[in-house]
Amino acid sequence: MQNRLLRALDPDDYRLLAGAFEPVQLTLGQHLTEANQPIGHAYFIEEGLVSLLADTMRPAADRVEIGIVGYEGMVGVPLLLGTDRSPHVALVQTEGRALAVPAPVLDEALGMSRTLRGALGRYVQSLIVQVGQTVYANADFNIEARLARWIVMAQDRLGRDELPITHEFLSLMLGVRRPGVTTATHTLEGAGMIRAQRGRITVLDRDKLLALAAASYGLAEAEYERLLKEG
């Protein structure tokens, strides 16, 4: 089991969910949740990357990423808040695996355990902070800094230096047109931070990426670690 949320649970809380786990493969472009549609499962990510996208009623290619989830978290947060739907889309952008829990099972388990509600509620708080930092980054930082932030966040969640991601996906994640992503990628590559090849980006110098991302990265990550330790 790779998911950090599940690994941090009290053993009794873990057992409330474990019997209902459904292993699922995550495929590129798969929608785990749809905008304004009932959420049937919570997905505890074991491997891979999922983007939370604002559904602005524009074409899919014009949607903007507001959050990112990997093995540190789960998809289906509205289920923890007493509702079964959201205006956002959860899109798989890197293939992987997850443990799915049916919504009724999760709801029953939350009703049985205050400590489980607390543990998963703290994850909700960390995700709120991450979304807030994304808003901050989009408002106050240039595309090169935002790209550096996103690359480091993806590296954190995939646990490796080579990131299977296309410029098309990056433009979606950053909310900019593809030519802007191409220019920013060339800038980071020219500075020795990354190597960009077709369909993948390799991190060469994380320290330089962190310096470029500056205050747009770090606060949400520190909050996640603090909240995880509170359990």
pLDDT at 199: 83
One domain, residues 51 and 13: yes
One domain, residues 69 and 93: yes
Q: Does the predicted TM-score (pTM) go above 0.85? A: yes
- Give the number of residues written for the chain: 231
Which string of DSSP letters, residue by residue, matches 14-61? Answer: HHHHHTT-EEEEE-TT-EEE-TTS---EEEEEEEEEEEEEE--SS-GG
The DSSP output letter for 165 is -
Rounded to the nearest angstrom, the gap between the alpha carbon of residue 8 and the centroid of all alpha carbons in its chain is 18
The tens-digit pLDDT sequence of the chain (231 residues) is: 899 999 999 999 999 999 999 999 999 999 999 999 999 999 999 999 999 998 656 555 567 889 999 999 999 999 999 999 999 999 999 999 999 999 999 999 999 999 999 999 999 999 999 999 999 998 999 999 999 999 999 999 999 999 998 777 777 677 777 777 888 999 999 999 999 888 899 999 999 999 999 999 999 999 999 998 876
Spell out a b/e string for 165-199, using b for 16 or more CB atoms within 10 Å of the CB, else e.
Answer: bbbebbbbbbbbeeebbeebbebbbeeebbebeee
CB burial of residue 216 (10 Å; 0-12, 13-18, 19+): buried
pLDDT at 113: 96
One domain, residues 112 and 71: yes
Domain range enclosing 160: 141-217
CATH number at residue 166: 1.10.10.10
pLDDT at 229: 87
One domain, residues 112 and 8: yes
One domain, residues 73 and 182: no
